[in-house]
């Protein structure tokens, strides 16, 4: 059952006070009335009330003075002002001092309840926004970037230093290594943390659409431009714009972006007047931008503008000590989301988890853990469950391995293919053509087995 909202009433007319108190009580609120404004203010405590309703004209202390005193102690609490002599000047004064609403005497009970509900609903929305911001700031603070390896600690020291300086940062690293998370950590620990963080994947949009998304356009700039549209640079004004896969920017967009970084202004498509905004640009790439500069695919001047500070993220295989911590973190998130009680990986599964090279890095690890938890019905995720989703090559049994002399004088890759094909045929014969059992013993998932059967042209009669 939700907690009842607490409302403080202040009015020197005792009869009106009692009437409002009874109306509020009848509608499920807790209410307390004061006829002496000074006493009400003296006894007011932040957090004790959800809403204040006060008359404006009262002897000893005006409602505007009550409003100011309460707002000095609790700036977020909504206050409704009551008056029989509403004027424009008085309303403006009250609103400037922080009043939420004005209620004119006489009023009906339904109108009072309507105003109260609106004020409380607005207050709840503001609190939800504050909680969401606190959650975001906590999510992206340095303490919640998972890992204890020395290489990660050194990166976080660097991130902490650049976060407070309004400079461009280029984050490099393989796909899935956490580049956007680092960009978010920089933003949420910077002086811009109360403004927007907007991300765009430069490789996910065609050239014409990318330009209009970034810079916006004027009505009539091109076929289909039926109204003015704000671009992401404008939307991020005061905050941070994160350009993921920045190496995919086409040349015309590179030119416009360079101008913005130099002049802090740009032109919307179809617009002759420049638009000025205050945006910090962070970027990321999994490609070699230096090589792109040499080949002419990326502007050298833009590269140096973006790469004022470089932060390179290691691949997950370079920080294997962090894998158990990351795995525990992702398991915890999934348990919270689905109400499950998975405790972790068993010993063999954890060994396979740490030995795997993770070409998709942290993103792949997260996805594999989600898949494992969807399939596993026990307290601990077993190796048999794990290997359905990663290509871990199990140790081959000596009885299945061909003798080296059989390989003859053949190139190394051909010899390797012959070994793998013979191994697969041996496993399939051993398990009477049962693909799932063969995959489990080989440490492969079933999709990999089918792919390799097709690759080597293995026919059923070869193992049945």
How do residues 44-61 score in pLDDT, each as one tens digit?
Answer: 988 889 999 999 989 889
Confidence class of residue 430 from pLDDT cuts 50, 70 and 90?
A: confident
Q: Which is nearest to 368 in space by CA: 406, 401, 326, 398?
A: 326
Assigned CATH for 142-312: 3.40.50.300
Residue-level pLDDT at 399: 32
CB 352 within 8 A of CB 359: no
- Lookup: tokens for 332: 């915890």
Strands (E) across 85-212 are located at 101-104, 169-172, 197-201
Cα–Cα distances in Å, from 110 out to 25, 113, 116, 235?
Answer: 13, 5, 10, 41
In this prediction, residue 411 carries a pLDDT of 43
CB of 123 closer than 8 Å to CB of 50: yes
Q: Which of 1.20.1630.10, 1.10.8.60, 1.10.630.10, 3.40.50.1100 would CATH assign to domain 316-386? A: 1.10.8.60
Report yes or no on whether pTM surpasses 0.75.
no
Q: How far apart are CA 119 and CA 51, in angstroms?
A: 8
Residues 254-262: contacts with CB under 8 Å, at least 24 apart: 254/298, 254/299, 254/302, 255/299, 256/211, 256/214, 256/215, 257/214, 257/281, 257/302, 258/299, 258/301, 258/302, 258/305, 260/233, 261/168, 261/302, 261/305, 261/306, 262/305
Q: What average pLDDT score do residues 83-96 get? A: 77
CA proximity to 260, closest of 247, 243, 284: 243
- Strands across the sheet containing 197-201: 197-201, 240-244, 280-285, 169-172, 309-312
Side-chain-side CA neighbours of 376 within 13 Å: the count stands at 29
Question: What share of the chain has pLDDT > 70, as a percent?
Answer: 86
- pLDDT at position 239 over 90: yes
Residues in Cβ contact with 259 at an 8 Å cutoff, skipping those fewer than 6 apart: 265, 266
Taking the alpha carbons at both ends of the chain, their separation in whole angstroms is 66
Residue ranges per structural domain of the chain: 6-134, 142-312, 316-386, 398-462
Residue pointed to by tokens 């076929």: 223
CB contact set of 461 (below 8 Å; sequence gap of 6+):
none
pLDDT at position 358 over 90? yes
Structure tokens at 88: 């424009």
| Rounded CA separation 285/282 (Å) | 11
- Fold type of domain 398-462: Arc Repressor Mutant, subunit A (1.10.10)
Please name the residue that has the structure tokens 């390179």. Answer: 312
Which residues are CB-contacts of 146 (< 8 A; sequence separation ≥ 6)?
Answer: 322, 325, 326, 329
Give the lowest-confidence range in 63-72, 251-260, 265-274, 290-299: 265-274
| Rounded Cα–Cα distance for residues 362 and 327 (Å) | 10
Return the closest-CA partner of residue 176 out of 349, 352, 367. 367
pLDDT (0 to 100) of residue 223: 67
Fold designation for 6-134: Rossmann fold (3.40.50)
Rounded Cα–Cα distance for residues 94 and 68 (Å): 9
Q: Which is higher by pLDDT, 129 or 110?
A: 110
Least trusted range by pLDDT, from 86-90, 121-125, 369-373, 382-386 = 86-90
Helical segments of 296-346, H only: 300-306, 323-338
How many whole angstroms separate alpha carbon 376 and alpha carbon 334?
Answer: 13
What is the model's pLDDT at position 462? 75
Q: Are 27 and 56 in contact (CB under 8 A)?
A: no
Cα–Cα distance measured from residue 332 to residue 131, given in angstroms and rounded to the nearest whole number: 21
pLDDT in tens, 183-195: 999 998 899 988 9
Q: Other C-beta atoms within 10 Å of 138: how many?
A: 11
CB atoms within 10 A of CB 389: 17
* Average pLDDT of the chain, as a whole number: 84
Burial 179-212 (b: 16+ CB within 10 A, else e): bbbbbbbbbbbbebbebebbbbebeeeeeeebbb
Residue 396 pLDDT class (50, 70, 90 cuts): very low
Query: In this predicted model, which residue has the larger pLDDT, 333 or 417?
Result: 333
Mean pLDDT of 75-91: 82
Helix (H) or strand (E) holding 280: strand 280-285
**DSSP element (H, E) containing 34:** strand 30-34
Say if residue 395's pLDDT is above 70: no
Residue 9 DSSP code: E
Collapsing DSSP to helix, strand or coil, 102 comes out as strand
According to the model, what pLDDT value does residue 397 have? Answer: 32
Q: Tell me whether the CATH fold assigned to 6-134 matches the one assigned to 316-386.
A: no
Q: What is the DSSP string of 370-383?
A: HHHHHH--SSEE-H
More confident site: 171 or 140: 171
Helices 323-338, 347-355: inter-axial angle, 10-degree rounding: 120
Q: Is residue 406 predicted with pLDDT exceeding 50?
A: no
Assess whether the previous peptide bond of 106 is cis (omega < 30° from 0): yes
Who wins on pLDDT, 1 or 75?
75
Residue 4 binned pLDDT confidence (cut-offs 50, 70, 90): confident
Where are the alpha helices (H) located in 3-83, listed in sequence order? 14-26, 37-43, 63-73
């Amino acid at each position: 059952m939700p907690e009842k909202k607490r409302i403080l009433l202040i009015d020197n007319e005792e009869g009106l006070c009692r009437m409002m108190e009874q109306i509020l009580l009848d509608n499920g609120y807790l209410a307390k009335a004061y006829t002496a404004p000074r006493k009400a203010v003296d006894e007011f405590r932040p957090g004790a009330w959800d809403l204040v309703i006060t008359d404006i004209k009262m002897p000893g202390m005006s409602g505007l003075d009550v409003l100011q005193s309460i707002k000095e102690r609790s700036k977020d609490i909504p206050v409704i002002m009551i008056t029989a002599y509403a004027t424009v000047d008085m309303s403006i004064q009250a609103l400037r001092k922080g009043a939420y609403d004005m209620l004119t005497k006489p009023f009906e009970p339904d109108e009072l309840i309507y105003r109260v509900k609106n004020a409380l609903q607005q207050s709840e929305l503001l609190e939800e926004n504050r909680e969401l911001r606190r959650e975001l700031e906590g999510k992206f603070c340095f303490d919640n970037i998972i890992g204890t390896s020395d290489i990660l600690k050194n990166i976080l020291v660097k991130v902490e230093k650049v976060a407070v300086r309004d400079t461009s940062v280029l984050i490099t690293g393989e796909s899935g290594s956490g580049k956007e998370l680092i960009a978010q950590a920089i933003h949420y620990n910077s002086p811009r943390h109360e403004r927007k963080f907007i991300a765009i994947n430069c490789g996910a949009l065609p050239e014409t659409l990318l330009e209009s998304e970034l810079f916006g356009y004027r009505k009539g700039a091109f076929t289909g431009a039926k109204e003015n549209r704000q671009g992401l640079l404008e939307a991020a004004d005061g905050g941070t714009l994160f350009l993921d896969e920045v190496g995919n920017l086409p040349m015309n967009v590179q030119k416009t972006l360079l101008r913005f970084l130099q002049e802090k202004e740009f032109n919307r498509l179809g617009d002759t007047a420049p638009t000025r905004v205050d945006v910090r640009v962070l970027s990321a790439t999994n490609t070699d931008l230096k090589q792109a500069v040499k080949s002419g695919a990326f502007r050298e001047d833009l590269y140096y503008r973006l790469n004022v500070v470089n932060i390179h993220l290691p691949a997950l295989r370079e920080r294997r000590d962090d894998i158990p911590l990351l795995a525990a973190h992702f398991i915890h998130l999934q348990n919270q989301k689905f109400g499950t009680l998975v405790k972790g990986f068993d010993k063999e599964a954890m060994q396979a988890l740490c030995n795997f090279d993770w070409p998709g890095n942290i993103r792949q690890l997260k996805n594999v853990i989600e898949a494992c938890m969807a399939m596993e019905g026990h307290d601990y995720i077993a190796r048999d469950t794990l290997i359905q989703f990663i290509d871990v090559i199990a140790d081959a049994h000596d009885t299945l391995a061909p003798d080296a002399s059989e390989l003859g004088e053949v190139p190394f890759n051909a010899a390797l293919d012959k070994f793998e094909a013979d191994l697969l045929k041996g496993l399939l014969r051993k398990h009477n053509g049962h693909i799932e059992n063969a995959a489990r013993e080989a440490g492969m998932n079933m999709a990999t087995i089918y792919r390799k059967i097709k690759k080597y042209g293995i026919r059923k009669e070869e193992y049945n």
